[in-house]
Amino acid sequence: MAKKVLIIEDDTALAENLSNTIKAGGMEVFVCHDGEAGFRQAEDKKPDLILLDLVLPKKHGFKVMEDLQKNPELKSIPVIVLTNLESPHDIEKASSFGIKAYLVKANYTLAEILKKIKEVLEG
**Pairwise CA distance, residues 76 & 58, whole Å:** 23
Q: Say which amino acid occupies 87.
A: S
Q: How far is the CB of 123 from other proteins (least distance, A)?
A: 26
From its phi and psi, is residue 84 left (phi > 0), alpha (psi between -120 and 50) or beta? alpha
The secondary structure of residue 104, as a DSSP letter, is E
Interface with other proteins includes 57 (CB under 8 A)? Answer: yes
Give the one residue of 1, 70, 87, 123 binding other proteins; rule: CB under 8 A: 87
The verdict on 11 binding other proteins (CB under 8 A) reads yes
How many residues lie near other proteins (CB under 8 A)? Answer: 25
Q: How far is CA 85 from its chain centroid?
A: 14
118 binds other proteins (CB under 8 A): no
- Interface residue list for other proteins (CB under 8 A): 11, 13-14, 17-18, 20-21, 35, 55-60, 62, 84-87, 104-106, 109-111
